C-alpha cells in the first residue's frame, strides 16, 4: 500500500497509540475529581498542556484542548464574534478557507453579522492590500488559514500580522491545521491571537486538537457546563487524547527538519514527472507552497474514476479536501483561483508524510500513467 492522502489524515505513531492506551487504562480518573486518581489525571493534563505550549513557544495558560480543528475554528470565530458584537459585526476571511471556517461564517451571517470574503490570485494567495482595504471601523475578527488544504498555498500570515499591529482591537485567527510541523510560524511574532490545530494531521489521534488563545484575548464559550478548560470548553477533558497529542506534536517537531526536506524533494520529483503527462495542469504554486501538498488536474478524466483505478494498485490519493470530497462538487479553491470548472472537476491532491519515499512516488507516477492511458482508451 502507498498512502498519499496525509492531508486527509495521518497514520498515528505507534508511540502515540501506546500513550493513549496507557493513560486510558491506568489513569482514567476524571481530572475534576478530588481523589488521588483525579489528581493523577489532572497532573497528566497539565503536563500535556505544558508540552504543547513549549512546542508552540507560547504560555501553557494559552492552550485549550478541543476535539480537533473544526471545533477550534468554531470556538475561535464564533466566540470572538459573539463576545465583541457590541463593538462591531464585521468579519474578514478568504474565499478558500476550510469548510469549518466557511460554515461558521455563514452561520454568523444568518444572525446579523457581515462577512467580507477576500478573493485570491491564480496561486490561491490572499493580497495583504485586500485585507487592509477590507478593514472597517466595525471589523472585529480576521480569519486566514496558514496553508490551503487543497493546493498547499502558504498565505502571507506574517505580513497580515504586521498590518494588524496597527489595529490592536481586531482579533487575528489562523487555521494552522495543515501547516503545523510542515511550515514554521511564530505565533507571537506574527501577532496571531487565535490558532487552531488538529492532532490527526500530525500522526496523533482523531478527535483531539487544541486552540491557542493569546493572553488578553476574550471569547464567548460555545459550550455550557462544568466550566472545564478555564470555562472556555465545558465537558470532561479527554486526558488520554491530550497526552497522545502532545507526544505526536513532539515527535513531529523532532523530525520536522529532515521530514520537510524529504517531502520537498518528493514534491519536486512529482512536479517534474507529472508536468510531462498529457493534459496535466499543475495547481500547486512552485514558490510559496507547503512541502506536503501537490494538486494537479488530468484533463478529460473523471477524478472519482481515476481515484478508484489507482486504488486497485493499492495507491491512495484524493480529489479535494476529505471534508468535501463526497459532495461531488467542484473545488471552491480551484474555482476561486480562476481554474475552469471542467479542469477543476479532474483535480487530484497528493499529500505526503515524513515517512513517504521517492521510490513510492515513482511507483505512483508509473501507476498514474498506466491508469490514465487505460481510461483514455476506454473513453475513446
Q: Which residues are catalytic?
A: 323
Distance (Å, whole) CA 318 – CA 330: 13
Q: How far is CA 171 from CA 54, 132, 216, in A?
A: 23, 14, 11
Give the chain's radius of gyration (CA, Å).
Answer: 21
Contact indicator for 77, 101 with CB cutoff of 8 Å: yes
**Cell numbers placing 247:** 507526544
Helix axes 69-83, 99-110, angle to 10 degrees: 30
Q: Which residues contact 308 (CB under 8 A, 6 or more apart)?
A: none
Residues 87-120: b if buried by 16+ CB within 10 A, e if exposed = ebbbbbbbbbbbbbbbbbbeebeeeebebbebeb
- β-pairing, 63-66 vs 194-198, is unpaired
Distance (Å, whole) CA 141 – CA 74: 13
Distance (Å, whole) CA 288 – CA 123: 9
Between CA 69 and CA 79, with CA 74 as vertex, the angle to 5 degrees is 135
Distance (Å, whole) CA 323 – CA 310: 21
The distance of Cα 143 from the centroid of its chain, to the nearest Å, equals: 13
Pick from 366, 70, 78: nearest CA to 221: 78
Helix (H, G, I), strand (E, B) or coil at 203: coil
**Cell numbers placing 159:** 505580513
Distance (Å, whole) CA 140 – CA 171: 6
Helix (H, G, I), strand (E, B) or coil at 355: coil
Q: In what order do the strands lie in the sheet with 171-175?
A: 63-66, 209-213, 194-198, 171-175, 139-143, 90-94, 114-118
Amino acid at each position: 500500500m502507498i498512502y498519499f492522502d496525509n492531508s486527509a489524515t495521518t497514520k498515528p505513531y505507534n508511540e502515540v497509540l501506546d500513550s493513549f492506551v496507557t493513560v486510558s487504562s491506568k489513569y482514567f480518573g476524571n481530572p475534576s475529581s478530588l481523589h488521588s486518581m483525579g489528581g493523577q489525571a489532572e497532573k497528566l493534563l497539565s503536563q500535556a498542556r505544558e508540552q504543547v505550549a513549549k512546542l508552540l513557544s507560547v504560555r501553557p495558560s494559552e492552550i485549550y484542548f478541543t476535539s480537533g480543528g473544526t471545533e477550534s475554528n468554531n470556538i475561535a470565530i464564533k466566540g470572538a464574534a459573539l463576545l465583541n458584537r457590541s463593538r462591531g459585526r464585521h468579519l474578514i476571511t478568504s474565499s478558500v478557507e476550510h469548510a469549518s471556517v466557511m460554515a461558521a461564517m455563514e452561520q454568523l451571517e444568518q444572525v446579523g453579522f457581515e462577512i467580507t470574503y477576500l478573493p485570491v490570485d491564480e496561486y490561491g494567495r490572499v493580497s495583504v492590500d485586500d485585507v487592509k482595504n477590507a478593514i472597517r471601523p466595525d471589523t472585529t475578527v480576521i480569519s486566514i488559514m496558514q496553508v490551503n488544504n487543497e493546493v498547499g498555498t502558504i498565505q502571507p500570515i506574517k505580513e497580515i500580522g504586521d498590518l494588524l499591529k496597527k489595529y490592536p482591537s481586531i482579533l487575528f485567527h489562523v487555521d494552522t491545521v495543515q501547516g503545523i510541523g510542515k511550515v514554521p510560524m511564530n505565533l507571537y511574532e506574527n501577532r496571531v491571537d487565535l490558532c487552531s490545530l488538529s492532532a490527526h494531521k500530525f500522526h496523533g489521534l482523531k478527535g483531539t486538537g487544541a486552540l491557542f488563545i493569546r493572553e488578553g484575548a476574550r471569547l464567548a464559550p460555545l459550550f455550557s457546563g462544568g466550566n472545564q478548560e478555564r470555562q472556555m470548553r465545558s465537558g470532561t477533558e479527554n486526558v488520554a487524547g491530550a497526552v497522545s497529542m502532545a507526544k505526536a506534536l513532539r515527535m513531529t517537531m523532532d523530525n520536522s527538519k529532515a521530514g520537510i526536506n524529504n517531502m520537498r524533494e518528493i514534491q519536486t520529483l512529482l512536479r517534474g514527472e507529472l508536468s510531462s503527462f498529457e493534459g496535466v495542469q499543475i495547481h500547486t504554486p512552485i514558490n510559496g507552497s507547503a512541502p506536503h501538498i501537490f494538486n494537479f488536474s488530468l484533463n478529460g478524466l473523471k477524478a472519482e474514476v481515476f481515484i478508484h483505478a489507482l486504488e486497485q494498485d493499492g495507491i491512495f490519493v484524493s480529489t479535494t479536501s476529505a471534508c468535501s470530497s463526497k459532495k461531488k462538487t467542484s473545488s471552491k479553491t480551484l474555482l476561486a483561483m480562476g481554474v475552469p470548472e471542467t479542469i477543476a472537476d479532474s483535480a487530484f491532491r497528493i499529500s505526503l508524510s515524513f515517512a513517504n519515499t521517492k521510490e513510492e512516488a515513482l511507483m505512483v507516477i508509473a501507476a498514474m500513467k498506466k491508469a490514465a492511458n487505460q481510461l483514455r482508451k476506454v473513453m475513446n
